[in-house]
Amino acid sequence: MKKRMLFLALALIVVASLVLAGCSSGTTTKATSGTTAAPATSKATTAAAATTAAASTTATATTPAKVYKLKYADQNSDTGWEGSNAAQPWLNQITEATSDQVQFETYWAQTLFKGADAWVSTKNGVGDLSWMFHGYWANQTPLADVMSLPFLGFKSAEQASGIFWQLYEKYPTLKEEFSDNHVLLTWASDPYFLITNKKQVKTVEDIKGMQIRVPSGPPTEVIKALGAVPVSKGMPDTFLALQKGEIDGMAASWEAIVSFKLYEVVKYYTYMPMFEVYFTQAMNNDKWASLPADIQSEIEGVSGLEGSLFWGANMFDSAKVEGKRLIQSAGADMTEYTLSDAELAAWQSASASVIDAWLQKMKDAGHPEAQEILDTTRELIQSYNP
């Protein structure tokens, strides 16, 4: 009997074990083969992806635009007339037009290279963008020298600057002369006149034999034709040259008189529309090509004709009134003389050979279009009012 009871107890234990095992097996199956686990995992993944995308969008929105830093070189001081009234305002226009993407590392007063070295130094990448005075480089841009022929009668620097840009755009052979660098704008001075430190010049006879500082190109030939001796000096060196008597005078504009305080070392002013000189703002070709198209377009928006007119008006025309005011406030000696019509005709006659020689030189060099360029210049002087 005891054995039967023991057997029944063992049987009940086995049955209970099997039941429990079956229940355990069913729970495991639901956990591993049920359909609710996969959607839970998919929602988590989607949420993580959305968070990552949002973070990426936020990062992109807050990433600052790329800044293009350019080295700008200028022969003149930033506190001089040209620096404060033309160069710095124009650089600011570029920075503003590009929403601060173009910024400048500025080198004033020949601290990066001499003004006479600006063209080659920019071409070689020493500077990125530079103020260029083409009176330093004889025969480099001979067709553009039409701007410096004597007594053409430009009305103002603004007018001359607009005419120069139109010539630059119209005549491919003239434009090609500047191709070593990328020209952003062109401009010209108002007519140069004479300042002297020893005697008043009134007639052609008065200037004969005098040592006169003058730019290269046609202006040098003009001084020779008038019987004076041309002297080549960088503008920053003219003050000491006048003070020491190394030169007797110079052809000058009001801008130069103001910027270099030449009124402190000269006394006599002889007014005549002798000739103009011309300039460019030019950029290293590779540096220009490296800028994105939209940045180039924004820079061009404040350059070209608009920029040329701006430079002519702000560098030169604006200095006329200021020049006389400074002379008066400084108490400097000033004796003025304006050529009469008859005297002016004599000066024109004495220098007319310079124009003939330029035309012949251009013809000999294979530029018969020089006559048309001169004719167009004369027509624009009469008709163009910016």
Residue ranges of the domains in the chain? 68-383
| pLDDT score at 63 | 75
Q: For the chain, give me the number of helices (H) and strands (E)?
A: 17, 11
Q: What are phi and psi of 71, to 5 degrees?
A: -85, 115
Q: What is the mean pLDDT of the chain?
A: 88
Strands laid side by side in the 229-231 sheet: 229-231, 211-213, 249-252, 193-196, 268-271, 335-338
The CA–CA distances, whole Å, from 115 to 139, 146, 256, 271 equal 17, 22, 14, 27
d(CA 195, CA 251): 6
Domain 68-383: CATH superfamily is Bacterial extracellular solute-binding protein, family 7 (3.40.190.170)
Pairing status of strand 211-213 against strand 229-231: parallel
**Contact yes or no for 168/377 (Cβ under 8 A):** no
d(CA 107, CA 34): 76
The CA–CA distances, whole Å, from 296 to 104, 292, 293, 301, 364 equal 15, 6, 5, 9, 38
| pLDDT score at 13 | 41
Q: What are phi and psi of 30, to 5 degrees?
A: -65, -35
| pTM for this entry | 0.82
E-strand stretches of 272-322: 278-284
**Contact yes or no for 332/263 (Cβ under 8 A):** yes
| pLDDT score at 308 | 98
| pLDDT score at 321 | 83
Residues of the chain under the 70 pLDDT cut: 1-62
| pLDDT score at 64 | 83
d(CA 357, CA 346): 19
> 121 is written with which tokens?
């130094």
